[in-house]
Structure 1
């Protein structure tokens, strides 16, 4: 026969374990404090942990906030939650919820940045998709420390932000977004391409400057090498580039038709008045334009004019050019 003392000891132990297990159950058992459906959570930069709990409770993701608050007091690292968009799984335990917010990859947003846009337009697109203001992205592209990190010897990163379609973490900071786009260009600009640029007499900055002009001149990848060949030819013989997009850039980025008076504007970007390349890129060129400059043929062309149907006529002499201009005028008048 078991002694009463042994029974009491076992009873006390069982009660102690139950008391200890009760709060642990609240903390660890799935579904006790959470929804049975997934919940969306948006965490903005600078939000406090208490603000996050407020949002979780308001959305119904949790019923009581004291339980995750208790865990965060025991494990202070849980109080740090990165800005981002999260999809909270259903029936999550309190501990599982905080572990998820601490370790789970952030929801990503697909962003398309068209070739040939400038950094202001990039800033507007990114600010509509990610959790920052366009002015913050502009400031990031002018951050001296960021520019120095990537060896950009200019006052801003125009031209170095490689366009494309990318998946960004929604909570990406402006510096992170700018750095990512610069790194995409750096990956493209391989050692072999650096050597090719040097053989043409270009450094990174001058290559991007000419590529940006090519980008602004034509959206057609198939004719970009020929457009590049015209400008390379002009540079070789000391002829002014006379590129309309550089004047449009000098006028504040307008895309309107230029008048003769516009060609006289006093600006280092006006390639009708100044020989050589302008001081820097006028937009952010895509891969095709950069490669076009590096691999342009020696075409012998010095001139080109729009066809009126999307492409260009090319000519090696003024006589050819004037004939092509007449073709353009005829095409335009027939479309009016």
Structure 2
């Protein structure tokens, strides 16, 4: 009679199955089995927008954060929400389990980047700032700034967001989309442009586009807040007298590429933004004005000034007549010549 098998001794297949279950459980749930062990170790991984789950797993493996790919792929298949990993820059410490690592990537807040948008920057320059700091391509940002559907959703009647990207210092998620950044910056303008300011604009005869257009010209003319109401008064006086604005910054905006010194031939450029050739305001803003420039248009200084020229000290000199303006131009040229002579002498 053959010996009876002990009920307490599992068969070989059962032992193998049990060992496999334990191994899989360890790889999925035990810290350090499939991830870097020492807690003091740190490794960085960047998840870009549009990357698939397998790409992220591959990046984790390439960075030495995980030993095997399949436990993460298995965990992702068993728990589908873990597939959703937000774009971001992650600094991972050791002693994660496979599941806790995926959960960390899934639930961890996105890192934020603090960005300053200066007063008076054109949207193409803002696009460059955003591209340097966030996971956004400047070309994609510019395309979004001209997207008719996005403009309609933001209540912008112009052809782009120029003028509506409100300057300031803000925190953005590194993985933000162009639409999210543009929507946020526009919302900052909407928050500033209160009902009382809208009423002031209506009394002055400005709709939103005209207000931002003139404010952008004021912004481009001077960085000095105390001078902005004077600059605004000049342009408002010229508009009332149906004089052409003859604003150099509008010509600069009409010229493609980076800013450069203007020549007399540039004043004849054929563009709706050339206020030397065209009467009235240009069709839209030429930059993104800050609060002081917008308020200056709504509350200009009470003057009869029709002209201004740089004074060589960072500000401007104003005049009510063309003859007075001509004298101020001569004074400015003399100051500039003296400055250039002084600079040449110091170089020697």
Fold equivalence (TM over 0.5) = yes
SS of residue matched to 2:65 = coil
- 1:209-241 CA-to-partner distances (Å, cap 9, x unmatched) read 011101111122221121112112222232221
Deviation at 1:265, TM superposition (A): 2.5
Q: 2:309 aligns with which of 275, 285, 305?
A: 305
Matched, 1:162 2:163: no
Whether contact under 8 Å (1:37, 1:91) holds in the other structure is no
Matched, 1:99 2:103: yes
CA distance in 1, matches of 2:265, 2:69: 68
Query: What pairs with 1:249-328 in structure 2 (closer than 5 Å)?
Result: 249-252=253-256, 255-328=259-332
CA distance in 1, matches of 2:264, 2:27: 77
1:48 aligned partner: 52
CA distance in 2, matches of 1:23, 1:307: 77
1:81 aligned partner: 85
Query: What pairs with 1:11-22 in structure 2 (closer than 5 Å)?
Result: none
Deviates more, 1:145-154 or 1:23-32: 23-32
Query: What pairs with 1:194-205 in structure 2 (closer than 5 Å)?
Result: 194-205=198-209
CA distance in 1, matches of 2:331, 2:264: 21
- 1:240-278 CA-to-partner distances (Å, cap 9, x unmatched) read 211111112223366333333322223221112222111
Q: Which runs of 5+ in 2 are unaligned?
A: 1-5, 10-16, 341-348
Deviation at 1:80, TM superposition (A): 2.0
CA distance in 2, matches of 1:318, 1:46: 60
1:119 aligned partner: 123
- 1:1-34 CA-to-partner distances (Å, cap 9, x unmatched) read xxxx9999xxxxxxx9998666444333333332
TM-score w.r.t. the length of structure 2 is 0.86
CA distance in 1, matches of 2:196, 2:93: 47
CA distance in 2, matches of 1:259, 1:210: 23
- 1:56-87 CA-to-partner distances (Å, cap 9, x unmatched) read 11112222222222221111111121222122
CA distance in 1, matches of 2:242, 2:325: 19
Deviates more, 1:24-33 or 1:300-309: 24-33
CA distance in 1, matches of 2:35, 2:19: 23
SS of residue matched to 2:140 = helix
Whether contact under 8 Å (1:197, 1:207) holds in the other structure is yes
Deviates more, 1:123-132 or 1:148-157: 123-132
Deviates more, 1:292-301 or 1:226-235: 292-301
